[in-house]
Amino acid sequence: MNVAEAIDTRMSCRAYLDTPVPEATVRAILEGARRSPSGGNLQPWRVHVLTGVPLAELVAVVRARLPLNPRGETPEYDVYPPELWEPYRSRRFKCGEDLYATIGVAREDRLARLRQFARNYSFFGAPVGLFFFIDRGMGRPQWADLGMFMQSVMLLAREHGLDTCAQEAWSAWHQAVSEYLHVPPQFMLFAGMALGLRDPEAPINRLRTDRARLEEFATLRGF
């Protein structure tokens, strides 16, 4: 698989087979992602990877807390700016509509939407869950570095025939996650990520999200 194929076939996978991912594969993916660039080569990423019993335990901790607190804990950062403007607002809306359409959930059916959203907190059934942390002192440039690192993980996963879904949703449970993983307060949870074999039959995995045309985001001069 070349880079273009890895980029093209990566999609947010929201249903997995329960086939385990060998430790050697996870290590190979992380070893590869080590080569991601970062400003000043700070390599500001910290990753925790869970499978088996620890994964089930953490999922159970959050599942037990969800009914009392469906919105999660006090957020540490805004996943989106409070009032999204165009064209971002429409893109976000369409992405949600298209996602729920794949599983036949109507806009008005808030309960079904919540139920689907809550599947974030079981990593959509993936056998491996990753958590990406960053040192609290780091600024926006280092957050961008962390994003590049996550993309490397997602593309390398494709090379191993695996799929992923990056999950900011986990930031709503940063305390529970950090407590369970004994992560010192110096580190802040950015996102989780599901990793595993795609369930090819699952309707939700049929979603292919749109992208803006090149002319909408790129300006080329002097060619």
CB of 25 to ligand FMN, least distance (A): 21
Assess 202 for contact with ligand FMN (CB under 6 A): no
- Dist. CA 145–CA 169, nearest whole Å: 20
Assess 9 for contact with ligand FMN (CB under 6 A): no
Assess 98 for contact with ligand FMN (CB under 6 A): no
- Choosing from 12, 51, 142, 152, the residue that interacts with ligand FMN (CB under 6 A) is 12
- Dist. CA 48–CA 132, nearest whole Å: 7
CB of 164 to ligand FMN, least distance (A): 9
> With contacts defined by CB under 6 A, how many residues of the chain interact with ligand FMN?
12
* 25-34 own/partner pairs: CB under 8 Å, 24+ apart: 25/160, 25/162, 26/51, 26/128, 26/195, 28/156, 28/160, 29/153, 29/156, 29/157, 29/160, 29/162, 29/195, 30/153, 32/152, 32/156, 33/149, 33/152, 33/153, 33/156
The residue number whose beta carbon is nearest to ligand FMN equals 169
CB of 9 to ligand FMN, least distance (A): 10
Q: Quick one: which H or E segment has residue 149?
A: helix 140-159
CB of 216 to ligand FMN, least distance (A): 16
Nearest residue (CB) to ligand FMN, 49 versus 191: 191
Nearest residue (CB) to ligand FMN, 22 versus 114: 114
- Choosing from 153, 191, 195, 204, the residue that interacts with ligand FMN (CB under 6 A) is 191
- Choosing from 73, 135, 159, 168, the residue that interacts with ligand FMN (CB under 6 A) is 168
